[in-house]
Structure 1
Amino acid sequence: MSSTKLNSEGVLLFEQPFARVPYENYRKVFRATQRNIERELGNVQAVSNDLLKRSKSREVNLEDAAKSVDGMIGRVENLKRKLSELQDTAGKPTLDVTRERLQHLMTVETLQTTGSLDFSRWADTRLDRWLVDWALRTGRENTARTLAQDRNIETLVDIDLFTDIRRIELALSKHSCTEALAWCSENKTALRKIKSTLEFELRLQEYIELARDQKKQEAMAYSKKHLVPWQETHLPQIMQAATLLAIKSSTTCGPYRRLYDDSRWLDLIQAFRLAIYNLNSLPTEPLLNLALYSGLASLKLPSCNDRSSHNVDCPVCDPSINTLAQEVPFSHHANSTIVCRISGKIMDEDNMPMVFPNGQVYSREALEDMAAKHDGMVTCQVTDQKCEFSALKKVFIS
């Protein structure tokens, strides 16, 4: 088995989302914990301050003070229970997933060559992960779950994340912003950091639906509560939206017809997907596609666009992945590799290229095999010209 020195940095190039997703999940757990602590302890602090103030002015008796203290103890115990449940149901499992994924990545750093059996196993697992990722992104959730269970890689793939994405996108496709807005609330700080306007677009869409139904009072109240806070950055859009209250959804006026157009829901789905991918450092393309792009870009030649010269062993020429190959540039090789279009084998000093009188070149091995089967005659695969094998000339690679 041939082997080369393992470039761990290159191997880990696509692995940022692999570690980032559980990190983001645990950060959500941390924020939920922080909110619970601030809310409950804030209430306890308020009651304590009130009790202290009344005690100084001697406006409280022992029975009221005891009830206040009991109430504070109850809140703290309730907080402890909530935090314990949150840690058991989300915190610990997420930490376990993070630890297992990091250990999986650390395996690469201990390997020396690509020819080792351990790297082969690791690469097989990576391919399984990429296949699950591809299945999840293309709506094949049952296939993804089955493959993950069969390969025992449930903790190494993001089925729950994509299930959540699909749930929210399905709600948006049914013209409901509720689920997406709840997600925005959970990730408000992170969305603000990446300057995402997803929440505004969702709020605007809910306002548009109220205007569509001619619920003018509700629309004005909604705008005051949810759109006006965005006026520093979205004032023109808010002013345009305000005009909708005087315009029906059947309008033919371009700007307002576009606001009422149902295609906005598709735009919201795309905006939500882009935002959640961004927060989790997920590429917009499946990881499997990105890996294929890299390989195809190193193989694609101008001849691959010519159907008459397709090579049976060339991945770029393969009809099943040729669509992906069309999106990558041609490869740039300092030294060309000449491949026989009959056999798919590389032509070199041991398998010399042979040229027909018409200039077409094929490998000696393929032509010798053809001549042996046809009484010394060979046929050009491009022009169908026939000639004797003895009429061919050797070509020397320089």
Structure 2
Amino acid sequence: MSLKLQMNIDGIMLLEQPFARVPCENYRKVFRTSQKYVEKELGGINTTCNDASTKSLSPEESLKAIDSMLSRAENLKRKLNELNGTAGQAAQDTLRARYGHLAAAESFAQSESGQTQFSQWADTRSDRWLVDWMLRAGRETSAKAIASQKGIQKLVDLELFADIRRIEDALRGNSCMEALAWCNENKTQLRKMKSTLEFDLRLQEYVELARARKTHEAMAYSKKYLASWHDTHPQQIKQASALLAFPPTTACGPYKRLYDPGKRVALIESFRVTAYTLHCIPTEPLLHLALYSGLASLKLPACKEHSTKNVDCPVCDTSGGLGALADEVPFSHHVNSTIVCKISGKIMNEDNAPMAFPNGYVYSRLALEDMAMKNNGLVTCPRTKTTCEFKELRKLYIS
């Protein structure tokens, strides 16, 4: 008898939303860049064309205008070809690989013998989550080695995390230029998110000028970059203006906090959260989320009692491993264990009582009744292939 694999596809796909959305965001960025090129170059061509049609130009001037339009059109074509041939093609390849990976899980659920294939798919998913955790922890060399060895480069965000790490390193080195360039590239999305990251970066650069006692440069910087934020951040700009009157060694609370070196750490964290949000990436590693889900289903009040600890239970572990993570999750909503039928995948309870074969294997009554109806009252144990009559089964009572 072949058993159809029972899988909760909706539950599996719940953690896969960032996996599918990141390449979509990258492809959308390629499209926006292409759109800007088209608007800029076509606008210039239209302007030249209108000027040529409304003005009385000599033959030489007309030829020059036509050459200018052709040059801009060729330049536009070259830029679009380069963009679609590099970033665009890479984004398309990543999209195909990732959606193909997700479609495979659904095909296994509809297959009569999908257990082996799904196990392999789940192993690949574990590798992806491990690489994701390593990238977040700054272990890029190990992450790249695993991705290369497993052949999952298109299933992980190596370039994205490398870019985020590059900007974070620049911020640690007291340089906001890379982060400001990133803000400029994504200013439309940041505006929709109502993010204040760009203002925070500008304010930090101003503070660094004040710390170096470059008063004139700081005033010019404030006029050029901070004044435009006056409608949304008036109080902070006023405080920043008064900062020039206080040295970095000041004991005055508000201005001492502006000079605090710890603000740069908070700025790095703010950038990281903004970048994750922009690319639809959860701030917590997917590996942690999966572990939290599993530990929460196992955690019971008995795990905290020394007399009932189980050496095989990860929640009862006191060596600082999974037991430490389990401290952060709530107790399971199920006080008692749930018994699931191997045949149907349905829960066995008072309405679907467990029935035992003479050899001791247990399955649900509804599944065995359905089997008996199709086989003239005979039922077969899927594990041992033992066959007997339905009336020989024993009903069990859960206590």
User: Which shifted more, 14-23 or 318-327?
Assistant: 318-327
The residue identity in structure 2 corresponding to 1:33 is: S
User: Which shifted more, 104-113 or 234-243?
Assistant: 104-113
Q: Secondary structure at the match of 1:315?
A: coil
Question: What are the within-5 Å matches in structure 2 for residues 1-398 of structure 1?
Answer: 5-55=6-56, 60-112=57-109, 116-307=115-306, 309-318=308-317, 319=319, 320-336=321-337, 398=399
- Name structure 1 gaps, 5 residues minimum: 338-349, 351-395
The residue identity in structure 2 corresponding to 1:325 is: A
Distance apart, 1:212 and its partner CA: 1.5
The residue identity in structure 1 corresponding to 2:183 is: C
Question: CA 1:2–1:231 in structure 2 vs 1: closer, same or farther (change >3 Å)?
Answer: farther
Contact 2:48–2:69 at 8 Å: present in 1 too?
yes
Distance (whole Å) between structure 1 residues aligned to residue 114 and residue 54 of structure 2: 75
Contact 2:9–2:106 at 8 Å: present in 1 too?
yes
Contact 2:300–2:335 at 8 Å: present in 1 too?
no
Distance (whole Å) between structure 2 residues aligned to residue 325 and residue 115 of structure 1: 32
User: Which shifted more, 328-337 or 270-279?
Assistant: 328-337
Cα deviations across residues 168-205 of structure 1 (Å, max 9, x unaligned)? 10001111111111111111111111111111101111
Contact 1:2–1:115 at 8 Å: present in 2 too?
no
Distance apart, 1:308 and its partner CA: 5.8
Cα deviations across residues 133-182 of structure 1 (Å, max 9, x unaligned)? 01111111111111111111110111111111100100011111111111
Contact 2:108–2:114 at 8 Å: present in 1 too?
no
Distance (whole Å) between structure 1 residues aligned to residue 333 and residue 241 of structure 2: 56
Distance apart, 1:50 and its partner CA: 2.5
Contact 1:111–1:119 at 8 Å: present in 2 too?
yes
Q: RMSD in angstroms over aligned alpha carbons? A: 2.4
Q: Percent same amino acid among aligned pairs?
A: 58
Distance (whole Å) between structure 1 residues aligned to residue 121 and residue 184 of structure 2: 38
The residue identity in structure 2 corresponding to 1:298 is: S
User: Which shifted more, 274-283 or 109-118?
Assistant: 109-118
Distance (whole Å) between structure 1 residues aligned to residue 31 and residue 130 of structure 2: 31
Distance (whole Å) between structure 1 residues aligned to residue 166 and residue 100 of structure 2: 31
Contact 2:5–2:115 at 8 Å: present in 1 too?
no
User: Which shifted more, 267-276 or 302-311?
Assistant: 302-311
Distance (whole Å) between structure 1 residues aligned to residue 202 and residue 219 of structure 2: 13
Q: Secondary structure at the match of 2:100?
A: helix
- Name structure 2 gaps, 5 residues minimum: 339-355, 357-396
Distance (whole Å) between structure 2 residues aligned to residue 67 and residue 297 of structure 1: 73
The residue identity in structure 2 corresponding to 1:310 is: K
Distance (whole Å) between structure 2 residues aligned to residue 248 and residue 181 of structure 1: 26
Distance apart, 1:295 and its partner CA: 0.4
Contact 2:131–2:143 at 8 Å: present in 1 too?
yes
Contact 1:28–1:186 at 8 Å: present in 2 too?
no
Question: CA 1:4–1:297 in structure 2 vs 1: closer, same or farther (change >3 Å)?
Answer: farther
State the TM-score, normalized to the length of structure 2: 0.80
The residue identity in structure 1 corresponding to 2:118 is: F
Distance (whole Å) between structure 1 residues aligned to residue 37 and residue 210 of structure 2: 37
The residue identity in structure 2 corresponding to 1:263 is: G
Distance (whole Å) between structure 2 residues aligned to residue 102 and residue 64 of structure 1: 54
Distance apart, 1:225 and its partner CA: 2.0
Distance apart, 1:316 and its partner CA: 1.2
